[in-house]
Structure 1
């Protein structure tokens, strides 16, 4: 099984060297960084547009040690103009970023877009063999999944949409909205950067096509398409190592020495979605209001050239450079220039030196699918502050950033003052918090997870699939097992496909299924609205049809008065028990919060249980182990399986092990479980395989 990647941009660009020969240089960007190592390891084919040197149709890369091939697509100048510059960047790009006044919908450009997508799809089909997986990338190739599906109904096809998916009232302005959705729904797995984008996409499918949708899924005929929020990460270790390199440290110090002021850094592709004019206006307002900052604060704006032939981008460049000139003309004094403007890209080493030198990083797009610059700064900075637009997809992932509204010029100006006055301890705590989040969604994990989940059943351990022939009693935890761990428990929506898999098991002639959780049963039913599903809540205190014992509220109130109040601590009152979550506490402070919770005196008849970044206080005499034993006693003759991820699930693992059943651990860590699955997506793939063995 090989991987076939399709993208508009190629992973290596041809460059003619001094010797007159063509050499291949790795493209800068997240996609190449993410997929090139996988392609080098696994082999396969990458299909992309031959923007330059179109005479070279096939090349094996990397140049020094070729491991995979690139098939380069030659496009006519008309198709480049109409499809790439026209429909892709003149219609889909502005529409997706909510700039409807810039969107132009032209039939001629749509026809060219279809032709280009057909060309890419045919190139993929020509080089594919049975069992190969296809992974298509971004808005330029949205029709490709449907075209491949029609030719290969059984193919495994993934798609990642890298820009925002807009709200339905914006998307419906596109005259070819049905055709675009039909093309995308040829995929088995569609990835987007944020839950908001996936919700908008599901609404578009329901309202435009009338398709059946559920949490993270769309029903297309006999197929179920999964639609998931999977924000792309960065190679955190690489940026941390570069930032710590003595050469980078020295380079950063020279930057600061040359400025001799505090440094505000902005790095953007020159695009109207990035909010550069609004940011410059905010900096001008800042200098106008805070005269003491003049001569003490410098804004460094790196504007990376983009789509230079497009009139809209030429006008934007003129506007930005005019604003830079006006600010410098108005405020320059005594050899100090307020704005240093660089109209060029920076190589990675130079970029990281700028990240390390900056006192604050301003990432203030008016709309952005994600924004990797924000993540790179968080991984590289030692003591800087990240100011991040609430309209960037990355804002959901970086809790340590200072959120700003790029449309609020005065508010952004005021936030600059706060950032520059922020105590060092708070800066470091915020950076630690962001780095912890970044490590949980590393770039390589993003790639591996997507490909594994795209493979679906084929990636599961065969010994688990063989169990399907037996009558199974399948018992699952909820958080971390049927749903990804969420920063806030109320946001823990089930893994896409979980509802369908559980529904299939509930109607299976041989199998039984139940959920055993630390949550209240009502909470789980709100996520999994399946009336026939047995849910045992509160670690075995709450059973269907049985009221729990009266809650000991006075004990809970006394306990709550002793909990630490550090930033990021969240107390979850479950009425009968209380859980204290510290997942969102800065990493440097988590151990002290944990110690404080472990030292809270216990009342008679109460116990403290340990979970992932949580301590829960509950009456003694309960637990998932006891609940699982009771469920097994009630279903003799069924082969018991328990699937869980947390330390609170260990007693359940021991219970099924003692009964001769199977225990399955989700994720890493020491465990008594016999088998591991990687994540909730793998759990859902397994449950789906048991529910629908065909």
Structure 2
């Protein structure tokens, strides 16, 4: 019997994952050939997703594109032979590396990722490992320059912090570096991309990248997904950004834009409507969440939400070890017969550490029976800019609050608040295995509390089913709907919630924990759902409706313009030559527009046409009378005036216009029902305007009309 033919493994879909920074810290020794690579902390959920795609997914072949981060140097102590980071200023070290050195480090990164996975698991990975790390090298002096605009302008605004404007030379330099950062990613992706690849972009460092890629690749079928891990502010805050339109222009180059919850996606759509004059159709997706089909620049963008998850399997594996067990036991022995409340936050202004301490102080004042019976262990992790004046003031305020509470409600043997600043690490896992967890963010994304719910589901050391008190301003409050949700600014309400949580009996805790556990999303499910949605877009039958129009590539346009011997320009008027305004009569040409059109008309190789819905009278008054060299098309082509000609041609002269009477009656009825709307009557066209109406009412009646 002849041997059976070998079956080929199904071809995996390539995914190019674009992250702000690779999950490694890289250090150079005294020479540029001496490298030290170590894992770094950061967005653990995102890193878990990268790990899942790399080692466990049989459906996708992942390629990770990311910045190396700031590369430091180490020096060796002559007496202890230990390496330590050089205290020298990185601004003085340009870190010039040869191509061979960069290739060598890339290979080292590949090997490090493989060995790192082998160290974490005892099982053989199900997916074949490919050389898939593609570092973005930005080796210039002052490597931290690439973070300035993202961290000092975008991040505060996205978290509802309005800092004094830095508009001027400094912010212009920050913006220039931000653009170059995104362009470096586009160049690297250009080296990796193959037709049919899915490109997945993450977070606010790369807001311009979707449009840059759409301009770079002449591929109408390219699929670009963007996931925003941070909050997205309401339009009233977002519009405060000086370069708000450029940011939106960059993002709408994606096929799908996804947020942590529905409110963030709704804010984004509102910004697109306000600043890009986009329209949006709301519907429900397969998860029964709101999704929007945003029409902008001649194409459609899908905007929705998908809460990120956690790697529950890995969390449980790391949380229940002999080392963690001993730490948990030590904490419980140190506070025997006391209720333990945990807070774990980064020490910045949006995490609500101050609000949490004030609420705990109010709790002790309102409920004296809990004094000496409850301890709050607040673990704060330092921020990247720990030495900034804002962070220093915040740390001082926190320390003053801690000292005030301990002096008022503590004694020589007991302090009700234990506050420590630690780098995030495995010690956090032991703190997750205690009795009540409080998150009091003023504005934040997701996931930290998911780990607490996961650990408590399987906890085996006297902490079964412990309650979670969660800020309503946390992104996860919309996911963990059965948590005890509070307003962190209302200290009395938070104090009452703490009292209620501490008084829950075992059955109540168990019921609460069971509900919360069902609501925790996993990182595997989140990854697969996002990519499946992009695949559906790529293979949908209505591709023609979803094709995106890339932003104008100005350098290419200029080059083609110089080479062409005959040039035809076709310009729309409203929204192109003049901005969209609520009153159509106010959309008149500017002096700058006249100057530009005069220069274009002066070139005998150019022919310029204005194609508009405006009537003959308006176009003659503002354009034809001043620039007779222009060709004009009024009322969407019903009337034409050729270049350098005074006479208009009526193309509808023989068309029956009796329809206008009935259409006008219908429009008048809708005008009566929609305050702020009006009818613009022209020779042929009738236009119903609703820009001055309540947006939702105007859109509803426009759809009905």
What TM-score results when the alignment is normalised by the length of structure 1? Answer: 0.62
1:540 counterpart residue number: none
2:485 counterpart residue number: 403
2:50 counterpart residue number: 35
Q: Alignment RMSD, CA only?
A: 2.8
Say whether the 8 Å CA contact 1:138–1:160 is kept in structure 2: yes
Deviations 1:531-579 (A, max 9, x none): xxxxxxxxxxxxxxxxxxxxxxxxxxxxxxxxxxxxxxxxxxxxxxxxx
Distance in 1 separating the partners of 2:448 and 2:276: 36
1:190 counterpart residue number: 257
What SS class does the counterpart of residue 334 from structure 2 fall into? helix
Deviations 1:4-45 (A, max 9, x none): 22221212333689x975234264511101122203452423
2:408 counterpart residue number: 330
Does 2:130 correspond to 1:130? no
Q: Which runs of 5+ in 1 are unaligned?
A: 469-496, 502-694
Does 2:65 correspond to 1:46? yes
Distance in 1 separating the partners of 2:484 and 2:298: 46
Deviations 1:221-241 (A, max 9, x none): 443211110110112233345
| 1:25 maps to which of 39, 55, 58 | 39
How much has 1:425 moved relative to structure 2?
1.2
1:229 counterpart residue number: 305
Say whether the 8 Å CA contact 1:268–1:274 is kept in structure 2: yes
Distance in 2 separating the partners of 1:280 and 1:180: 37
| 1:5 maps to which of 11, 17, 20 | 17
1:472 counterpart residue number: none
Say whether the 8 Å CA contact 2:26–2:36 is kept in structure 1: yes
What SS class does the counterpart of residue 21 from structure 2 fall into? coil
Say whether the 8 Å CA contact 1:273–1:365 is kept in structure 2: yes
Does 2:521 correspond to 1:435? no
Say whether the 8 Å CA contact 1:327–1:339 is kept in structure 2: yes
| 2:162 maps to which of 100, 107, 115 | 100
- Counterparts of residues 255-654 of structure 1 (less than 5 Å): 255-260=331-336, 261-307=338-384, 308-348=386-426, 350-357=427-434, 359-370=435-446, 372-381=447-456, 382-438=464-520, 441-456=521-536
What SS class does the counterpart of residue 377 from structure 2 fall into? strand
What SS class does the counterpart of residue 23 from structure 1 fall into? strand
How much has 1:457 moved relative to structure 2?
5.1
Distance in 1 separating the partners of 2:499 and 2:212: 53
Deviations 1:321-374 (A, max 9, x none): 2322332233321411121122113424x32221112x210101001122x111
Distance in 2 separating the partners of 1:360 and 1:291: 19
How much has 1:127 moved relative to structure 2?
2.5
**Shift in CA distance, 80/174, structure 1 to aligned 2, threshold 3 Å:** farther
**Shift in CA distance, 131/393, structure 1 to aligned 2, threshold 3 Å:** same
Deviations 1:614-645 (A, max 9, x none): xxxxxxxxxxxxxxxxxxxxxxxxxxxxxxxx
How much has 1:416 moved relative to structure 2?
1.3
| 2:216 maps to which of 146, 151, 159 | 151
How much has 1:213 moved relative to structure 2?
1.6
Deviations 1:274-326 (A, max 9, x none): 01111111112222333332221111111111122433223222222232233
1:210 counterpart residue number: 277
How much has 1:179 moved relative to structure 2?
0.5
Say whether the 8 Å CA contact 1:49–1:74 is kept in structure 2: yes
Say whether the 8 Å CA contact 1:268–1:304 is kept in structure 2: yes
**Shift in CA distance, 320/181, structure 1 to aligned 2, threshold 3 Å:** same
What SS class does the counterpart of residue 513 from structure 2 fall into? helix
Say whether the 8 Å CA contact 1:6–1:48 is kept in structure 2: no
1:69 counterpart residue number: 132
Say whether the 8 Å CA contact 1:265–1:299 is kept in structure 2: yes
What SS class does the counterpart of residue 273 from structure 1 fall into? coil
**Shift in CA distance, 71/329, structure 1 to aligned 2, threshold 3 Å:** farther
How much has 1:417 moved relative to structure 2?
1.1
Distance in 1 separating the partners of 2:438 and 2:188: 42
What SS class does the counterpart of residue 265 from structure 1 fall into? strand
Distance in 2 separating the partners of 1:126 and 1:412: 53
2:665 counterpart residue number: none
Distance in 2 separating the partners of 1:229 and 1:123: 28
Distance in 2 separating the partners of 1:409 and 1:385: 18
**Shift in CA distance, 436/391, structure 1 to aligned 2, threshold 3 Å:** same
What SS class does the counterpart of residue 488 from structure 2 fall into? coil
**Shift in CA distance, 242/79, structure 1 to aligned 2, threshold 3 Å:** closer
1:220 counterpart residue number: 296
How much has 1:187 moved relative to structure 2?
0.7
